[in-house]
Amino acid sequence: MSSELISKKELLDATGISYGQLYRWKRKQLIPEEWFIRKSAFTGQETFFPRELVLTRIDKILNMKDELSLDDLAEKLTGGSVDLEMRRSDFISRNLISDVVIQTWMSKDEADHIYSFDQMLYLYTIEVMLQSGDMSVSEGATLLTVLQEHFSKFKGNPCDMIFIRRMGISSFMLVASGAELYFDNGVKVVSRLSMSGQAEQLKGKLA
């Protein structure tokens, strides 16, 4: 799964930023500490990053750094989003989830039922997987259970959702972002989704 990661050198080359900028943004918490992943490579220990997350974050920083100070940027990009709560009716009005998700997992809740950010993230992730065509509604119920039972155990650290099938039987798991996974030939990896990336997207859509 090395394609999920980007090395520090590749990152600097791809974005045109300097080593100094990268670590200044780290000190300012514009790029989270946990995104700096130390891994063994043929040249020794090297630093890697979750590819999708860090490229998206740097693009945002570069687009906004001329208008906002680094402190203001840090507040805008990271401040308070995970504490966001929203009424059922308001969340539905954002058109982020389909009628299938609403009727299957939200139909019993009152219009003023309050959803936490994590609860909205679970439903949004199910929507993304259904829209991709890779997952059925019945499999969505299993995914929801896995997210409800295990996502909080990562305590804010980046993790990926892995969706696999073996002989027609589907399974879901959560693993630390960047973790290398190896399966026997009978296992098909249907999808690997960055939950941190999903959270970043949802924050932007709810802001």
pLDDT digits over 97-107, tens only? Answer: 999 999 999 99
Is the pLDDT confidence value at 89 over 90?
A: yes
Rg (CA), the chain: 18
Q: Which fold has domain 2-78?
A: Multidrug-efflux Transporter Regulator; Chain: A; Domain 2 (1.10.1660)
∠ Cα 39 40 41 (to 5°): 115
- 101 or 1: which leads in pLDDT: 101
The set of long-range contacts for 148-157, using a CB threshold of 8 Å and a minimum separation of 24, is: 148/122, 150/174, 151/118, 151/121, 151/122, 151/195, 152/118, 156/34, 156/82, 157/34
- Residue 31, pLDDT > 70, answer yes
How far, in whole angstroms, is CA 48 from its chain's centroid? 17
What integer pLDDT is reported at residue 83 of this predicted model?
A: 61
Helix (H, G, I), strand (E, B) or coil at 36: coil
- Tell me the H-state helices in 43-170: 51-64, 70-78, 88-93, 99-101, 117-132, 137-150
pTM of the full structure? 0.72
Confidence of residue 78 (pLDDT cuts 50, 70, 90): low
How many whole angstroms separate alpha carbon 124 and alpha carbon 63?
26
- Domain range list for the chain: 2-78, 81-206
* Buried-state track 72-106, b at ≥16 Cβ within 10 A, e below 16: ebbeebbeebeebebebeebbeeebbeeebbebbb
The answer to whether residue 176 scores a pLDDT higher than 60 is yes
- Report the SS3 class of residue 195: helix
pLDDT band at 81 (very low <50, low <70, confident <90, very high): very low
Average pLDDT, the chain: 88
